[in-house]
Amino acid sequence: MKQIYLDHNATTPVDPEVIEAMLPYFKTGFGNASSVHSFGREAKVALETARERIAAFINCRPEELYFTSGGTESDNIAVLGTAHHLKNRRKHLVVGATEHHAVLQPAEHLARNEGFRLDLLPVDSEGFASPEKLAGLVSDDTALVSVMHGNNETGTIQDIRALTDVARDKNVLFHTDAVQSVGKVKVDVKDLGVDMLSLTGHKIYGPKGAGALFIRQGIKISPLFFGGSHEKKRRPGTENVPGVVGLATALEIAGERMEEDAARLGQLADFFIQAVLDKIPDCRLNSPRSNRIPPTVNISFNGVEGESIVLALDMEGVAVASGSACTSGAIEPSHVLTAMGVPAVTAQGAIRFSMGRSTTKDDLAHVLAVLPPIIERLRAMSPIYQQRK
């Protein structure tokens, strides 16, 4: 059976060039970058060279980049570290209603256990946030605003610059989770005007367990971990040298391919969206038509549970998701779609199709052949859908 992978927003295969770049640091260059002998010095050079390469990619200074284990850790350091540093002066947080749980849950923890007030920045029916609504939420007591750049479920790309302008006027720090957008669309921290930005490698054909957090020079945060002087004590622990070398290589490859990949995958996504809406009645497109991460498509199939569709497609060799991989198995509707005003019964039938470099039009043609009968069969088994009809 042909296997078709349409879950690239969950993770991607590692590019062979990335593997080749990492291999020496598993073998002869295995030293600890904190050691002073020649093995350590070799690893340190590789680490700092990778830092320079990644910094150049997002247009920051190398000293403003801190290596982490990935997007979740970067988000937690940004949210919790900022809040803990400012807790005696500012006790208010604003985060996007459609954030990844790596931002939402630390913010909710601060509100529930540490006396912070939390406001969720609402979005419209396509997932876009309004600068005017942000202006109505921030105050002199706001410690941090965190709004995702590219949404992991719908692909919505926020106008972050318009939001950071509001935060700057109020002298409020701004963090963005750019895990899904870095390497797929242009991300420049100066253009965005952000104070902090999270990124990771495994969404862009790099290794799992390697990420980074940009912290603008002059911004102070409290560390979450203790035990060493690594990463200027902001993220102690022996650095993952092969991982960060792989992350740097993956970003450079993504930069070289970005324009070509975005155009091709955008065309495939547009073709797929229209074909699904034409072939299958009673569907809802949850992704915006424009200002979207090119290969991300989210569609709800009314009257059917998303998990049932995922399992049925898997039996046909097609891998998709019913939402974020981090919430797989959850029975409640997606908080992202709920925040967009999608009714619960519709949100529960949502499927995310996220394409990648290996995706072809033939792959999508196969999905378009097997998906309509799956939806028809599942709807025939649904008493709720039959009652609605």
Q: Tens digit of pLDDT for each residue in 346-357?
A: 999 999 999 999
**Tokens read off for 82:** 């900022």
Q: Tens digit of pLDDT for each residue in 68-122?
A: 999 999 999 999 999 999 999 999 999 999 999 999 999 999 999 999 999 999 9
Q: Tens digit of pLDDT for each residue in 77-87?
A: 999 999 999 99
* pLDDT (mean) for 359-370: 98
- pLDDT, position 385: 76
- pLDDT, position 224: 92
The domain defined by 4-11+257-388 folds into Aspartate Aminotransferase, domain 1 (3.90.1150)
- pLDDT, position 389: 64
- pLDDT, position 272: 98
Chain centre distance of CA 121: 18
- pLDDT, position 2: 87
- pLDDT, position 329: 53
Burial of 317 per CB tally in 10 Å (0-12, 13-18, 19+): middle
Q: What is the mean pLDDT of the chain?
A: 95
* pLDDT (mean) for 41-67: 97
Q: Tens digit of pLDDT for each residue in 153-208?
A: 999 999 999 999 999 999 999 999 999 999 999 999 999 999 999 999 999 999 99
* pLDDT (mean) for 261-283: 97
Binned at pLDDT 50, 70 and 90, residue 326 comes out as low
- pLDDT, position 217: 97
- pLDDT, position 331: 67
Distances (CA, A) of 36 to 39, 42, 123, 249: 8, 10, 51, 26
Pick the residue with more confidence: 67 or 388? 67
Is 60 a residue of the active site?
A: no
- pLDDT, position 232: 86
Where do the structural domains in the chain lie, given as residue ranges?
Answer: 4-11+257-388, 16-252
Binned at pLDDT 50, 70 and 90, residue 275 comes out as very high
* pLDDT (mean) for 278-288: 97
- pLDDT, position 330: 55
- pLDDT, position 349: 95
pTM: 0.95
Pick the residue with more confidence: 329 or 15? 15
**What is the identity of the amino acid at 373?**
P
The architecture of the domain spanning 16-252 is: 3-Layer(aba) Sandwich (3.40)
Distances (CA, A) of 121 to 5, 45, 145: 33, 42, 9
Confidence check: pLDDT of 323 > 90: no
- pLDDT, position 270: 97
Q: Tens digit of pLDDT for each residue in 202-259?
A: 999 999 999 999 999 999 999 999 998 899 888 989 999 999 999 999 999 999 999 9
Q: Of these residues, 56, 111, 285, 326, which one is catalytic?
A: 326
